[in-house]
Amino acid sequence: MALRVGDRSQATRNGLKEKVLTLNTMNPRVRKVEYAVRGPIVLRALELEQELRQGVKKPFTEVIRANIGDAHAMGQRPITFLRQVLALCVHPDLLSSPEFPEDAKRRAQRILLACGGHSLGAYSISSGIQLIREDVAQYIQRRDGGIPADPNNIFLSTGASDAIVTVLKLLVAGEGRTRTGVLIPIPQYPLYSATLAELGAVQVDYYLDEERAWALDVAELRRALSQARDHCCPRALCVINPGNPTGQVQTRECIEAVIRFAFEEGLFLMADEVYQDNVYAEGSQFYSFKKVLTEMGPPYAAQQELASFHSVSKGYMGECGFRGGYVEVVNMDPEVQRQMLKLMSVRLCPPVPGQALLDMVVSPPTPSDPSFVQFQEERRAVLAELAAKAKLTEQVFNETPGIRCNPVQGAMYSFPRMQLPPRAIQRAQELGLAPDMFFCQRLLEETGICVVPGSGFGQLEGTYHFRMTILPPMEKLRLLLEKLSDFHTKFTHEYS
C-alpha cells in the first residue's frame, strides 16, 4: 500500500523506506506491454528444464522449445563462409592462417578497412558502415531486377526489430482522438502490439482470412480503417510478408492492392520482409513492396511512403544472436529522415559484428570464388529441409481430428487451428486463462513441448490456435508433431 506524505517520516523513523519505483509509480505503458513469444509459458519451460537437470522425474526427458524462430538453438549448423569471415574479422591474426580460403580473407580485410581503427570493436557511424550500406543497396537492386537503391536511404539496425520500433516512434503522435492508429495484421507478431502499447499508440486490427490460407483482403482493411477513424487517427499500415505467425506469402496482385489502398487513404506503409528467403510452396514467390511500388509507376512510385525491413536472424542464415538488420526508406520526407538518423544516433550504432554478418548475407560468394560451391550447397540444403518440414507439419496436423493447418507457404511457423471441447473452455475460464493458454500449459507439463497460444498473436473470437516453429531437426520434428497430435486427442477425450 502506498504511504501518504504525512506517513513518510513515520515510516522512515520505523526503518521503512518506500521504494521510488513501484508498480504504482512506474511507466503505466510498460505494464501494458505483452510479448507472448517469451511470455509465461516460456518462463515455465525454463523452470522445467532446470527441474530436469536437478533430477526431478517428469513424463518426458527434455523440453522442446518450439516457441521461437531460433534456428541455431534448434540445431541448424551455421553457414561456413559467414562464420569464417566473421572469425577473421574478430581475430585478424588468423588472416595469415592457411586454414581459411582466400576469398574469405579478402572479404574480412575489406570489412576491416571500413571499420574505425580497422577493428570490429570500434563504433560505426549511427546509420551503419558506409561500405556495408552500399553493399545492401546493391543487393536490393539485384533482388528487385535492377531497380536502383540509394545507400543514403538505408539504415543498418540491431536486427529488424530495432528499425521497426524506430519507424513507429517517428509515426506516433497526438492525444485522444488524434492519437496515431497503426493497422496491424491479426494474427500478428507481438513486437507490434508490444511497441504500440509502450508508445501509447492505438492498435488497429485487421484480420487475415484463415479460410483463404490467411489471405490479406483490402475490404477488411477498409472495415478496420473506417471503424478506427471514430476514435483515433490511423497513419500507418504494417504488412508481414511472408507471414509470421501464419506462413502465407502475398501474391503480387495483393501487394498492388495494398499499395493502392495505402496511397488512397494516406497511410505510411511498413513492410516486414525478414522471411523473404523462406518461401517453400509451389506457385508462391516473394515480391518486395519496393519492387512492386516502383513498377506501379506514377503516382504511387514517386509518392507512397514505405519502410521495408530485413534481418540476418531468419532466412537460411538463422544468425539471431548477432542482431544484424536494415531498413530501407522510400519517399520519406528528407527532414523526417534526418530526425530518424538523430534518433538512431542516441543509441550510438548497431552491433558491428552484426553489420559485418549482414554484409556477407547481402554479398555472398560469386561463382568465381573458392567458397561458392560449399556456400551454395549449404544454403540449398537448409532451405530444402525447411520446405520438407513445412510440408510434414501441414500433413501431420491435417491428419489429426480436431486440428486444421493451412499450407506453410513461407517463413518458419505453422499456426494450426484446434477445436477445444466446451468443458475445457469452461475449466480454462475457472482458472482465469485463455482456453488456448490452458491447452498449451497442459501440453508443456505433460509432454515437454513448448508452443505459444494463439491468443498471444490475436485471433478471431471463438477460434483457438497455437504457433509452432518448424525448425527442429526432421526426426525430432516428426516426433514432436506426433506427440502433439496424440496429446490433443487425449485432451479432447478428457474434457469431452
Residues in the chain: 496
358 and 291, same structural domain?
A: yes
Q: Are residues 354 and 463 in the same domain?
A: no
Strand-pairing partners, residue 414, are 468
Q: Are 69 and 412 in contact (CB under 8 A)?
A: yes
Domain end (from 338, 362, 386): 362
Picking from 362, 384, 419, the residue at the C-terminal end of a domain is 362
Flag whether 456 is in a domain: yes
**For residues 234 and 276, what is the distance between their CA atoms, to the nearest angstrom?**
27
User: Are 157 and 277 in a shared domain?
Assistant: yes
Residue 78 C-alpha cell reads as: 551455421
Check if the beta carbon of residue 102 is closer than 8 Å to that of residue 370. Answer: yes
Alpha helices in 230-371 (DSSP H): 252-265, 289-295, 300-303, 334-346, 352-362
Q: Are 306 and 396 contained in the same domain?
A: no
Give residues with Cβ within 8 angstroms of 449, minimum separation 6: 63, 64, 66, 443, 480, 483, 484, 487
331, 362, 393 - which closes a domain: 362
CA angle 395, 400, 401 (to 5 degrees): 140
pLDDT (tens digit per residue) in 436-457: 999 999 999 999 999 988 988 8
CA distance 381 to 269: 34
Residue 310 grid cell? 530485413
pLDDT of 115-135, one tens digit each?
888 988 888 888 889 999 999
> How many Cβ atoms are within 10 Å of 476's Cβ, its own excluded?
15
For the beta carbon of residue 303, count every other beta carbon within 10 angstroms.
11
Say what the alpha-carbon torsion angle 87, 90, 93, 98 is, to the nearest 10 degrees: 10
Residue 42 falls within a domain, yes or no? yes
Q: Is residue 187 located within the same domain as residue 336?
A: yes
Q: What is the CATH number of the domain that holds 150?
A: 3.40.640.10
Q: Which CATH number belongs to the domain containing residue 491 in this structure?
A: 3.90.1150.10
In this structure, of 60-69, 258-267, 425-434, the range with the lowest mean pLDDT score is: 60-69
pLDDT over 90, % of the chain: 59
Query: Is 355 within the bounds of a domain?
Result: yes
Beta bridge pairs of residue 410: 279
What would the mean pLDDT of 453-470 be, rounded to a whole number?
89
Residue identified by cell 506462413 is: 247
Domain check: are 194 and 329 in the same one? yes
pLDDT in tens, 61-79: 888 888 887 888 888 899 9
Dihedrals phi, psi of 495, to nearest 5 degrees? -105, 10
Copy the grid coordinates of residue 290: 519496393
Residues 173 and 279 in one domain: yes
pLDDT of residue 156: 95
| Among candidate residues 427, 236, 452, 404, the one with its CA nearest the CA of residue 332 | 236
pLDDT at position 21:
76
Residues 384 and 490 in one domain: yes
Looking at the fold, whether 184 and 69 belong to one and the same domain comes out as no
Better pLDDT: 161 or 358: 358
Dig out the grid coordinates for 411 from the structure. Answer: 517463413
**Mean per-residue pLDDT for 371-399?**
94
Nearest CA to 377 among 388, 390, 365, 395? 365
Q: Are 315 and 146 in contact (CB under 8 A)?
A: no
pLDDT, greater one: 188 or 356: 356
Do 338 and 390 share a structural domain?
no
CA 112 to chain centre: 29
Domain of residue 70, residue span: 31-75+375-495
305 within domain boundaries: yes
The reported pLDDT for the residue numbered 12 is 57
Tally of structural domains, the chain: 2
Average pLDDT, rounded, for the chain: 89
**Residues 470, 353 share a domain:** no
What SS3 state is found at 391? helix
Cα 151–Cα 154–Cα 159 angle in degrees, nearest 5: 140
pTM of the full structure:
0.86
- Between the alpha carbon of residue 274 and those of residues 125, 163, 395, the distances in Å are 24, 12, 26
Strand, coil or helix: what is 145? coil
Please give the pLDDT value at position 61.
86
Let me know: does 103 contact 369? Beta carbons within 8 Å.
yes
Looking at the predicted structure, is the pLDDT value of residue 16 above 80?
A: no
Kindly state whether residue 358 falls inside one of the protein's structural domains.
yes
Element (H, E) at 85: helix 80-90
pLDDT band at 13 (very low <50, low <70, confident <90, very high): low
296 contact partners, CB below 8 Å, separation of at least 6: 256, 259
Give yes or no for a contact between 442 and 55, defined as CB atoms under 8 angstroms apart. Answer: no
- Smallest CA-to-CA distance from 450 within 441, 462, 459 is with 441
pLDDT per residue over 193-247, tens digit each?
Answer: 888 888 888 999 999 999 998 999 999 999 999 999 999 999 999 999 998 989 8
Which pLDDT score is estimated for 146?
A: 95
Nearest to 351 by CA among 313, 328, 322, 327: 322
Q: CB neighbours of 146 closer than 8 A, spacing ≥ 6?
A: none
Handedness of CA 123, 124, 125, 127 (dihedral sign): negative
Query: Given pLDDT bands bounded at 50, 70 and 90, which one contains residue 1?
Result: very low
Residue 87 has pLDDT above 90, yes or no: yes
Residue 8 confidence (pLDDT): 54
Distances (CA, A) of 325 to 128, 160, 445: 10, 5, 36
Is 338 among the domain residues? Answer: yes
Cα–Cα distance measured from residue 56 to residue 243, given in angstroms and rounded to the nearest whole number: 39
CA distance 438 to 404: 19
Please report whether residue 43 resides in a domain. Answer: yes
Q: Is residue 345 part of a domain?
A: yes
Grade residue 458 by pLDDT with cuts at 50, 70 and 90.
Answer: confident
The pLDDT score that the predictor gives to residue 135 is: 97
Whether 320 and 195 share a structural domain: yes
